[in-house]
Amino acid sequence: MKSIQDIIRSIEVISVSGESEPVVTAIEFDSRKVTSGSLFVAVKGTKSDGHVYIQSAVDSGATAVICERLPDNPDEKISWIRTGDSAKALGQVSSAFFGDPSSHLKLVGVTGTNGKTTIATLLYRTFRALGYKCGLFSTVCNYINDRELPATHTTPDPVQLNRSMAEMVESGCDYAFMEVSSHSVDQQRIAGLTFSGGIFTNLTHDHLDYHLTFNNYLQAKKGFFDGLSAGAFALVNVDDRNGRVMLQNCKASKYTFSVKGMADFRCRIIEQGFEGMGLRIGEEEVWTRFIGEFNASNLLAVYAASMLLGGGKKEILTIMSDLRPVAGRLESVESQSGITGIVDYAHTPDALVNVIDTINKIRDGGQQLITVVGAGGDRDRTKRPKMAAICAEGSSKVILTSDNPRTENPEKILDDLETGITPDVRKKVLRISDRREAIRTAVMLAAEGDIILVAGKGHETYQEINGVRHHFDDREELKAALMADRI
């Protein structure tokens, strides 16, 4: 429990009226979760406006309300705080309510289109191996030390975020590593947090269904770096031309990394095969269990951030040599039939280019690459033709299939994908909307030595159809199809 004055000390207050000193027992922005003593924050969301539910929150026992506009006849028994940005205020009051937990951690945020999950997770694993207590917020899973928490969003809502960080502090964590999505920056979910560092991976076509323009998407990412303090570090990938854009107006100490040119931290691939690759980082060499130039970049970011956080070079490189890929990221599926199965989360044009190029650099001329790919429903439609074109250009055969259609008709999504298929490659493209059947067909088409890439869902263990999530795991399906083929 905290007084309202303690909670609102950091927000922009336009006016305060009604009860002056209520005791707050919880922070809520969903009126259905309000109980006696709650502070309700009315946030204008993408689908609904919390101001519509203020009376419902009051009826459920809210003793204080933060909003951008007051109701016509505000109850004088309630504490009313008017602010210019309720979403930002939600982050700030959540932080204050839980004791500003991020200020008691070395919190590092990772943002960009691709690589966020890999970098954040590998940093968490590295610092656990160094002997520290750590927390992790990622698309795949959240952790407080070794305790696993389910992940529902890339970046949780401000209340859950601060509640979990408070638990991390209570559990003795020294570090926390977090994926920072463009949505979370735009929606002010990270407002009120104190970051010790920020990492930028890259910026490519994604989420334009939400941001509408690429510039809006870029500015959301840049907003994270604009908010870093002078005491933090900003580490950016300058192989992406937007890397240096992130550093404009950034007050943090600035560092760069690159696998292609000059930078503060550099590396290059010495050799690679499906089992891993050798890297030269600075003057040191290290063998890793990862493949692909994009993973070389991810590992370099992990190395650089670890060094900036005070790690020792030899110790970090030793740990890196033992790190394993994150679930659903270029994850090999066991096969005794001589076929190599790979599952990857690639669901953007750039991610597909990275994965397919990596496989093509390793496979020999006699090996086919058979790619199974779809596109999520209710998301950016403009990337669908590009994704199909990339797969058709870089693969021996392509099977277009369903991903998470959500509320869209799967056949309509496949129609969009097919518009990217030109006549000269159409003969090597199949269309099978049933994802299980598409995976089985890929195995049937494969011969010994061939490679099957199942792209799009990666670590996910469900398929969302008409708002209902059904159990579906690409790794399970591919493994079962390979076993059935062998029998």
* Contact by Cβ (8 Å): 459, 470: no
Q: Is 241 exposed, middle or buried (0-12, 13-18, 19+ CB in 10 A)?
A: exposed
Residue that the structure tokens 């792209």 belong to = 455
What is the C-alpha to C-alpha distance for residues 219 and 294, in angstroms, rounded to an integer? 23
Residues in the chain: 487
CA dist 74 and 71 (Å) reads 6
CA dist 67 and 482 (Å) reads: 56
CB-based contacts of 14, cutoff 8 Å, min separation 6: 82, 83, 84
Residue 211 has what pLDDT? 54
64 vs 27: CA distance, rounded Å: 10
For 483, the enclosing helix (H) or strand (E) is helix 474-486
Q: In 3D, which of 390, 324, 320, 303 has the Cα closest to residue 352? A: 390
Which among 376, 423, 429 has a CA at the least distance from the CA of 399?
429
**How many other C-beta atoms are found inside a 10 Å radius of the C-beta of residue 216?**
14
SS3 of residue 34 by DSSP: coil
C-alpha count within 13 angstroms, C-beta hemisphere, residue 464 = 13
What's the gap between Cα 186 and its chain centre? 15
CB environment 295-310: b (16+ within 10 A), e (fewer): bbbbbbbbbbbbbbbe
Residue 415 identity: D
pLDDT at 487: 46
Q: Where are the alpha helices (DSSP H) in 151-242?
A: 158-170, 182-186, 208-211, 214-226
User: Facing residues of 134 across strands?
Assistant: 175
What sign does the CA torsion over 376, 215, 299, 135 have?
negative
Tokens of 36: 């006696």
Separation CA 283–CA 58 (nearest Å): 63
pLDDT along the chain (487 residues), means of 10: 91 94 94 97 89 97 97 94 96 97 98 93 97 94 91 82 97 97 88 97 71 80 95 97 94 98 96 94 95 96 98 96 92 86 93 94 92 95 96 98 96 97 97 98 95 96 94 96 75
- Angle, CA of 169, 303 and 458, to the nearest 5°: 80
- Is 84 strand, coil or helix? coil
Q: What angle do CA 212, 215, 220 make, to 5 degrees?
A: 85
Q: How far apart are CA 56 and CA 73, in angstroms?
A: 14
Instruction: Give residue-wise pLDDT tens across range 270-325.
Output: 999 888 999 999 899 999 999 999 999 999 999 999 999 999 999 999 999 999 99
- Letter string b/e over residues 469-486, b meaning 16 or more CB atoms within 10 A of that residue's CB: eeebbbbebbbbbbeeee
Integer Cα distance of 28 and 17 in angstroms: 20
